[in-house]
Homo-oligomer: A and B are copies of this chain.
Amino acid sequence: MAFINENYLKLSPHYLFPEIARRVQAYRVKNHDAKIISLGLGDVTQPLVSSVVEAMKGAVEGMADEEGFHGYGPHRGYDFLADAIIEKDYNGRGVDLSREEIFISDGAKCDVTNIQEIFGSDNIVAVTDPWFPLYVDSNVMAGRTGGRRENGHYEGIVYLPCRPENHFIPRLPQKKVDMIYLCFPNNPTGAVASKEDLKTWVDYAKENRSIIIFDAAYVAYIQDPDIPHSIYEIEGAKGVAIEIRSYSKTAGFTGLRCGFSVVPKQLKAYQKDGKHVQVNPIWYRRHTTKFNGASYISQVGASAIYTDVGNKQTRAVIQFYLNNAAFIRQELTRLGYTVYGGIHAPYIWMKTPGGLSSWQFFDLLLERANVVGTPGVGFGPSGEGYFRLSTFATRENVEEAMIRLASM
């Protein structure tokens, strides 16, 4: 008799975005003419820049003849991309990495949910609250938690509240934790961590032999060079941290599927008997067994981001979204809302007005302004009373949304 993995049955029946889609659809059915503006989902709207398009066209054309044809790629991804990553993303920030430490993937979502597989099932997992739901869901599926509490927390997970009082930077946990998910610039709060903030965590991980899974999907939005772009800018981080990056928000690759993870050779985990194990070859084994590379076309496209022209073009698109963010911040502040994030991140984290719950504000915005955002509580109970606005929209829609909010 084939048993199901019963851990899946612990998951809440509705994942956040399908529930949003359901409510929007229900509203649409009753209001055919409503012109709904979505500032909800974190999907980009600007087209690919021309240098990426041209590079991919060349790659596609090359696949039409025997010389230019590319079948299975190298296990860790193509060197042309790994080399660009090392030079442009890391060397420029004073971080040295080797090709063997770069694992090109089909995106950060896959990496951030798959990475837990290589760790023991008894590890205690810590996440910030609010958190990106999939950090937790992937650990629930793997059996690292107990049941779900009424507030959305799972037994066995350590939640680290992030609120205005701590500037959305988590304090160290009281209880020892083994795997820590950190995301800066943060989704959903838009907060960034300083060197001191990250050093606190790296030191904790060194002391407790924990592992930090550092989600840097939004690094391209950092506007201040003094803010660390990589956790490896902190001394000793290579011994305790995995870093995951994405081209989705950097260059509009949500539909192309390409990202990468860094698993340094120094990184260690432990056997039950206390012996240490190098994590890099274990992840290599997982990567080569349960994955078969990102599309060659997407890897060629990603490499174009690192050319001078490609970099300039993608920076311009990021600036476009950051301008949206600045405009939303300004308008919401003018309207009397309390607003966080949106400076080094594409997300605005706003306080709901008048003590409304996140979902109450969601429904209000949908019905009164035909604007869709994301209820903060969908990212965890510490997100209750907050609301996320994504800035991945056209300027026209952003301006129209703010006019509607003003007249609400």
Q: Which residues of A contact B (CB under 8 A)?
A: 1-6, 8-9, 11, 15, 41, 43-48, 50, 53, 56-57, 60-61, 63-66, 68-73, 106-107, 109-110, 113-114, 117-123, 134, 137-138, 141, 143, 178-179, 208-211, 252, 254-257, 269-272, 277, 279, 282, 285-286, 288-298, 394
Contacts and interface: CB of A to CB of B under 8 A. Distances in A.
A110 to B, nearest CB: 6
A8 B282 contact: yes
Contacts of A394: 66
A228 B112 CA distance: 39
A43 to B, nearest CB: 4
Contacts of A45: 66, 69, 71
Contacts of A252: 69, 71
A110 B291 contact: yes
B298 A123 contact: no
Given A48-B64, A141-B286, A269 B2 contact: yes
Contacts of A269: 2-4
Give the one of A66, A71, A106, A285 with max B CB within 10 A: A71
B1 A209 contact: yes
B8 A109 contact: no
Nearest to A107: B292
A119 B5 contact: yes
A63 to B, nearest CB: 5
Given A73-B255, A289-B113, A64 B43 contact: no
12 contacts: A4-B269, A6-B272, A9-B277, A43-B71, A44-B71, A53-B63, A56-B297, A106-B106, A117-B141, A256-B295, A257-B292, A297-B297
List the 9 closest A-B pairs by CB distance, nearest first: A3-B120, A71-B254, A255-B296, A4-B269, A2-B211, A43-B71, A113-B290, A70-B255, A1-B209
A325 B223 CA distance: 58
Contacts of A141: 117, 285-286, 289-290
A134 B73 CA distance: 18
Main secondary structure of the interface of A (DSSP, over half): loop
A50 B71 contact: no
B47 A120 contact: no
A288 B2 contact: no
A98 to B, nearest CB: 19
B57 A291 contact: no
Nearest to A11: B285
Contacts of A5: 117-121, 282
A68 to B, nearest CB: 7
A287 B48 CA distance: 26
A47 B292 CA distance: 19
Given A60-B57, A123-B2, A179-B2, A134 B289 contact: yes
B3 A123 contact: yes
